[in-house]
Every structure is written in C-alpha cells, then in structure tokens.
Copies of this chain bind each other. A is one copy, B any other.
Amino acid sequence: MNIIELAEKAKEASYKLAGISLETRNKALKNIYEALIENKDKILEANKKDIELSKEVLSEPMLKRLKVDKKVFNYMLKRFQDTILLPDPLGIITLHQINPQGMEVYRKSVPLGVIAMIYEARPNVSTDAVSVCIKSGNALILRGGKEAFNTNICLVDIMKKAALNAGMPEGSLDIVGDTNHETVTEMLKLNDYIDVIIPRGGKGLIKKISDESKIPVIKHYDGICHQYVSTCDYGMAVDVILNSKLQKVEVCNALETLLIDEKIVKDFGPIICRALEEKGVKLLGCDRMREIYPMEKATEEDYYTEYLSYILSVKVVDGVRGAIDHINKYGSHHTDGIITSDQEQIEMFLNEVDSASVLVNASTRLSGGGEYGMGSVVGISTDKLHARGPVGPMELTSYKWIAIGKGNIRK
C-alpha cells in the first residue's frame, strides 16, 4: 500500500471510529496489552536486529533510546493499563441549551480524525501513540525512524491484529511501510486525509515538518525552563532547584535558567551556587551574579539555550516583574516555576508568565502527563492553540455542534 492508499483507508476508518463505543476501544487496549505480553520474545528479537544494524553508526545515548529492554517493555505495557482506566474523552457534552426558537443545541467532544505521528528512534512512541489514539477514537498513521524500523513494524503488526480482533475498523491503525524521506514529503501534502501531524524528535525535524506541512501540526518544541527564587525558605529552594536541574538533565522539563531576586541574591546566591557546583553543574552568570559568586559570563545566546546537560544560566532579576519579563522573552513557554512565600508575587507570576505549565514551590520535573494524572501522552505541546502542555486522549479531540429541531426555520 502506498502512502495515499494508507491515508485514504485511515480517513474512511476515522468516520466509523467516531461511532465506536468505549467498550470496544477499551477492549482493543486490553487485547493489545495481552498480545504484547504474548509476543514479547518476537518484539525483543526484532529490536535486537535493529540494535545490531545500528550499533556501528549510532552513539551510545541513541542506542540506549532505541533499545527495548525489560524496563522499557514494562513501561509500554503499563501505558495500556493506565489508558484503559481513563474516562471516555468522547461524547462529552460541554454545552447544552435550548435556543430562543426552542431548538435543542449542544456541543459534544468527537475525535480529531486521522493523526499522523512522525518520530525518531524511541519505539515506545509507537505504543504510546496507539494507546492514546485508540482511547480517543482517532485513526493513526505511524512513521518511525529508520533505526527502529524492525521493532516498529513488529509492534504495529501485533497491535493492529489485536485491535481489529476487538472490533476496531480496518485502517484505523497502521505504519508507513518504508522510511524514505520522499514518503514523508508526500504525507505532508495529504490534507484531505490527515487532520493533524504530531512530530516527535529534534527541533530540526519539528521545524521542517511545520514549515512544509499543509496539515495542522501539534508542536513539541524545546523546554527552556526557569525557576525564579525570591523570599522563601532557602532549604526548600535548594531542594527544588537541585531536583529541577538534576533529577534528569536531558529532558524537556529540566531547569535551564535560574533567576534570583536581587533582594535575596547576596544571601542565597552563594548557597545555591555552591550546592549546584558540588553536584557538577557548570554555572554561567550575568554581571551582577558574577560580582557575588565567581563564574563564567552568560551571553545573550545562553539565555535562549536548552542545555540538556550539566550547565545552568544564572541571572539576577529585579523583582517578580523582572522575572516575568525575562521568562516571556527568553523562555519556550513550556514549564516555569516560582519559589517564594509571597502570595502577591505568586499571583502575578501565575497570571503573567505565558507558559503551558506554571509551578509554585515545586520542581519543574513535576510537569507532565504522568504527574498530572493523564495516563499515556504523545508529548508535551508548546503550542497555545488547541492542545497546550501534555497531550493525552482528551487533547486529541475536537467537538461538534449538534442541533435537534422539529422543523425549525430561521425567521
């Protein structure tokens, strides 16, 4: 099947999916869960083949992302269990009224239609996307990276059969059968069949797809996350900042810039800087910071940088106003926190920081689908339109206006 046929089939399936019951969708999730367990050896075998083919060309961290070990396999399984337990995202009535003429009008959540997922090495994106799309009644076309080709084909083959057996319509779940770039280029033009594209991977991939696509894209850009500290319990602040930066340095909700209020910087600055350096973090600071604690100078460019490593920018700001202005200018609208005991500052920060997640006295690492109780997610959107923050089944729905008349006409 070429990509156009695949997309046509998905579109056809999507119309049927809009009427598929929660029972059938949950049964599909359960069937897949069981089929994955049953076919564990086959999956690990396919993954071994991918690792074998790539081990000379890929870096160690890339190979790690590619690998399906016991831990990753169990993670994949757990997502299906978690997603079964979520409430139905479809058929939710968000408005209901009788219009002036006596016509009943309501607004109901419905699937988006056909989702195309374009991603790189991690095979668990395949299973995450399937769990979220089945729950939300969307047809799904996967297109994974070439490194994980055997693993993905094997996974999708198993999941497809299990879903069809549960009564999901033919065409509701499939994978592109090649990893040519031309196929992706062609996909991006299929706006008659595909309703949304979700790219997962590096900034370059996402930018390329958004620029080229005629189809709406839900973007998952980088996380240049901040913590702003002012008057507070310094012990708590140190814990929260260290955790924000160090619990996992290579992820999108790790801390990249620390903003310290000028009122506390003389006292708190040296405490936090020492604590960070002890953990192996390299600090880059503004001039005011460097007067208080020795470190290399942070350039303008540094404040725009997602390090994803043991480097942190540190800047002194004038009050909550200065912090908000810095975050809105240099940040990526992903996750930003305030550490303070001042309620007025908290309110201003929560109102004016223009980010998907805003946290008070908590680690930036606590933003995300898992922590927000969303079961499986396909990523964390940095868009403001439609889905913002973690994208789970609910975020992959649209809505319909339904009006029930008795021969009503417009006067």
Contacts and interface: CB of A to CB of B under 8 A. Distances in A.
Interface string A65-85: 000000000000000000000
Interface in A291-332: 324, 328
Interface of A: 14-16, 18-19, 97, 99-101, 103, 105, 112-113, 195-196, 216, 218, 233, 236, 239-240, 243, 247, 324, 328, 347-348, 350-352, 354-363, 365-367, 371-373, 383-386, 388-390, 398-410
A171 to B, nearest CB: 14
With a 10 A CB-CB cut-off, give which of A16, A324, A351, A352 has the most chain B CB atoms.
A351
Given A103-B366, A328-B15, A400 B355 contact: yes
A324 B14 CA distance: 13
Contacts of A363: 405, 408-410
A305 B340 CA distance: 60
Nearest to A192: B329
A388 B113 CA distance: 14
Contact of A408 (B16, B324, B361, B409): B361
28 contacts: A15-B324, A15-B352, A15-B354, A16-B352, A19-B347, A97-B373, A99-B366, A99-B373, A112-B384, A113-B384, A196-B384, A240-B405, A240-B408, A240-B409, A247-B409, A356-B400, A356-B401, A359-B405, A360-B404, A361-B406, A362-B405, A362-B409, A363-B410, A365-B409, A367-B401, A372-B401, A388-B400, A389-B400
B399 A365 contact: no
Given A99-B371, A361-B404, A408-B363, A354 B18 contact: yes
Contacts of A409: 239-240, 243, 247, 362-363, 365-366
Contacts of A103: 362, 366, 371
A365 B233 contact: no
Say what secondary structure dominates the interface of chain A.
Answer: mixed
B324 A360 contact: no
A360 B367 CA distance: 43
A383 B357 CA distance: 26
Contacts of A218: 385
A121 to B, nearest CB: 24
Contacts of A401: 356-358, 367, 372, 388-390
A371 B196 CA distance: 30
B404 A113 contact: no
Contacts of A400: 350, 355-358, 388-389
A355 B361 CA distance: 44
